[in-house]
Amino acid sequence: MRLMLRIVLLFISGVAMASELPKTVAETTDYKSTSRYDDVISFVHAIQSIDPGIRVETFATTNEGRALPLVIVGPAGVVDPRTAHASGLPVVFIMANIHAGEVEGKEAAQMLLRDLVSSKRKLREKLVILIAPIYNADGNEKISTDHRKEQVGPVNGVGVRENGQGLDLNRDYMKLESPEARGLVHNVLDRWDPLVTVDLHTTDGSYHGYQLTYAPMLTPDADSALIEFERETLLPGIRARMKTRYGKETYYYGNFIDQLKPEKGWYTFDNRPRFGNNYAGLRNRFAILSEAYSYIDFRARVEVTQQFLDEILAAVSLHGQTMTKIAARADERAGSAKLKKLGARFEIKPWRKSTTILWERSTPAKAGEGIQNPETGSGPRIVRTGEIVPMKITDYGIFAPTEKSEVPFAYLIDARAKRVIENLRTHGIIVERLNAPSKLGVEQFVITKTEHVAREFQKHRELTLTGEWKSNDVSFDAGTYVVRMNQPLARLAFYLLEPRSDDGLFDWNFFDEILGDVAPVSRLMTVTPLNAGVGDGE
């Protein structure tokens, strides 16, 4: 009797659910339009009315006053970071629309949320899934048909790349100058500590044979065990499933050095942690950058992104325990002061000397015809042929340090560097202060040259310091800031504080006003008892 009643109830609720499940704007417009902010919020509310177990937090409020939703989907009882981590389940964070012209992630993320309250409920027994469907909400609301004209739909237009301040949020992970990035780092990455972050984009570079390309953490300063697992197990497994289940070709993100001369090679983008995938790596966590192919239509891009998300979730369900251990060991290695040297500056390197890359054959155009070569920009115009040709070429897919620096026991930071300290704390780095004046044998970075690049980028003229470390006995005032490097975020702290770092706070002008003959950051190389603490009433 009881069992029958349950079956009847399940049947009734199943029918009710199917009819009430909301549709995305992409679906209701036959993929002619993409969702506005209000559409996404209504969609999330509709999902919550079906399943009150779905929680929503605001992780940031944009410059234009929009509250950014973080949707939390897990088993019953998971309501916050504490209960999430107590469940022992891997936390996967999916973020969409960081570039608001690249909109299929936003649609696919909503569809995934709908699946998680209907057909894919079972996944919630294996994973805690966090979804930020509309990260760059301010950029999204500037929808116009003038944006990303090379992209195949949606025909009613898309938003813009930048946020309300004119900043690219995927260059803001280190300097944290936008409320969106500060909220993301503090309220999602630091507070929820996701094991895996998935960042959804659209690529509009080279013409190739992949419906979607992806990238892991590309900074060699990330823990090598994380990088290795992602490159050797996680991503190859997902790629194989994309092929066998859906017949779709995917590969590591890249572009041809020259569309007309593919033999020159395929190269990835950047090692610097201003990009989210690299940033997550420095936090000892996994990251997957997803780039749907701009030249397939909107419907196909939404579909391949959905399939890619499904396969990521399946793979993390499968490997979650191993991945959790790898991440915990990475924390432990950093936290026990076992890091010796890390890279400060880098160069791109071949990952595979000869590998098969799917090239769309392209030919030089006659005068006055053809389209722009996506790689050489202003060079000779080209014609796409539509023919996909496997090419054996070099994959420049990794980076290696050209310059390394020693990881100290602690950094000491000038008490005037308030913005620096605020930044470090937002990242979750533990910062202390000296309780009393202290004379310490440290290394100081003696500056021989300061060079600002001529071209402004993200409202900065980035700085390169040249100089060398010299040993000195220095008297530090009480109140001098201290960052001990035996903490899990030591890799990130190093990258932010090293004077020669290619993406640190020196690079981003945080120290410009207090630069003297020596850098306002010293390093203490040996284990030294310090009279310092965090509680200073600031």
Q: Give min distance, CB of 499 to Zn ion, in A.
A: 30
Shortest reach from residue 152's CB to Zn ion, in Å: 16
How does strand 438-452 pair with strand 518-524? antiparallel
Task: Please say which residue, 269 or 469, places its beta carbon nearer to Zn ion.
Answer: 269
Q: Which of residues 8-67 bind Zn ion (CB under 5 A)?
A: none
In terms of CB distance, is 292 or 326 closer to Zn ion?
A: 292
**Which helix (H) or strand (E) covers residue 105, if one does?**
helix 104-116
Stretch that binds Zn ion, among 96-104, 299-307, 329-337, 500-508 (CB under 5 A): 96-104
Q: How far apart are the C-alpha atoms of 449 and 468, rounded to whole Å?
A: 10
Q: Is 106 in the site for Zn ion (CB under 5 A)?
A: no
Buried residues in 495-520 as b, exposed as e (16+ CB within 10 A): bbbbbbbbbbbbbbbbbeeebeebbb
User: Which of residues 201 and 272 has its CB atom nearest to Zn ion in the complex?
Assistant: 201
Tell the smallest beta-carbon distance from residue 374 to Zn ion (Å): 15
Out of 99, 124, 272, 500, the only residue in the binding site for Zn ion (CB under 5 A) is 99
Those residues whose C-beta lies under 8 Å from the C-beta of residue 286, and which sit 6 or more positions away, are 195, 196, 197, 216, 217, 226, 229, 230, 234, 280, 323, 327
What string marks each residue from 453 to 492 as x (binds Zn ion by CB under 5 A) or -? ----------------------------------------
- Of the candidates 278, 248, 319, which has an alpha carbon nearest to the alpha carbon of residue 495? 278
Of 486-515, binders to Zn ion (CB under 5 A) are none
Is-contact 288 196, C-beta < 8 A? yes
Looking at the DSSP bridge assignments, the partners of residue 215 are 289
- For Zn ion, the closer of residues 98 and 222 by Cβ is 98
Stretch that binds Zn ion, among 20-28, 94-102, 115-123, 494-502 (CB under 5 A): 94-102
Query: DSSP labels for 365-423?
Result: PPTT-SB--TTTTTS--EEEEEEEEEEEEEEE-EEEEEEEEE--SEEEE-TT-HHHHHH
Contacting range for Zn ion; rule: CB under 5 A; set: 99-107, 204-212, 280-288, 417-425 = 99-107
Nearer to Zn ion, 275 or 396 (CB): 275
CB of 99 to Zn ion, least distance (A): 4
Rank residues 99 and 148 by Cβ distance to Zn ion and give the closer one.
99
We find the least distance from the C-beta atom of residue 148 to Zn ion, in angstroms, to be 10
For the bound state, the minimum distance from the C-beta of residue 261 to Zn ion, rounded and expressed in Å, comes to 26
Q: Which amino acid is at 99?
A: H
- Stretch near Zn ion under the rule CB under 5 A, chosen from 173-181, 198-206, 216-224, 528-536: 198-206
Question: Cα–Cα distance between 446 and 500 in angstroms, integer?
Answer: 12
Residues 460, 465, 471, 472, CA torsion sign: negative
Tell me: cis bond preceding 529? Omega within 30 of 0 counts.
no
Please, what is the minimum distance in Å from the beta carbon of residue 511 to Zn ion?
Answer: 30
306 vs 522 by CB, closer to Zn ion: 306
Cα(445)–Cα(106) distance, rounded to whole angstroms?
A: 45
Min separation Cβ 393 and Zn ion, Å = 24
- Cβ-based nearer residue to Zn ion, 114 or 171: 171
- DSSP label at residue 325: H
Per CB under 5 A, 201 contacts Zn ion: yes
CA dihedral 210, 211, 217, 220 (to 10 degrees): 10
Match 């910062």 to its residue by tokens: 431
Residue 279 CB, nearest approach to Zn ion (Å): 15
Tell me how far apart the alpha carbons of residues 57 and 372 are, in angstroms, rounded to a whole number.
Answer: 44
How near is the Cβ of 30 to Zn ion at its closest, in Å? 25
Residue 353: which H helix or E strand, with range?
A: strand 352-364
The CB-of-13 to Zn ion minimum distance in angstroms stands at 39
Kindly indicate which of the ranges 11-19, 91-99, 299-307, 455-463 contains the residues binding Zn ion, using the contact rule CB under 5 A. Answer: 91-99
Between residues 102 and 432, which has the closer beta carbon with respect to Zn ion? Answer: 102
How many residues bind Zn ion (CB under 5 A)? The answer is 3
DSSP symbol at 457: B
- Close Cβ partners of 522 (under 8 Å, ≥ 6 residues apart): 411, 412, 442, 443, 444, 445, 474
Q: Minimum Å distance from CB 203 to Zn ion?
A: 7
Specify the stretch interacting with Zn ion by CB under 5 A; choose among 98-106, 110-118, 297-305, 507-515: 98-106
Find the part of the chain contacting Zn ion (CB under 5 A) among 132-140, 197-205, 236-244, 423-431.
Answer: 197-205
Which residue's CB is nearer to Zn ion, number 99 or number 239? Answer: 99
The least distance separating Zn ion from the CB of residue 47, rounded to whole angstroms, comes to 26
Q: Is 208 in the site for Zn ion (CB under 5 A)?
A: no
Q: What is the closest distance, in whole angstroms, from the C-beta atom of residue 102 to Zn ion in the complex?
A: 5
Burial class (CB in 10 A: 0-12, 13-18, 19+), 56: middle
Cβ distance 369 to 383 under 8 Å?
yes
From 199-207, 365-373, 419-427, 446-454, span contacting Zn ion (CB under 5 A): 199-207
For the chain, helix (H) and strand (E) counts, in that order, are 13, 21
Binding region for Zn ion (CB under 5 A) out of 83-91, 130-138, 196-204, 215-223: 196-204
**Which residue, 99 or 491, is less far from Zn ion as judged by CB?**
99
Point out which residues bind Zn ion (CB under 5 A): 99, 102, 201
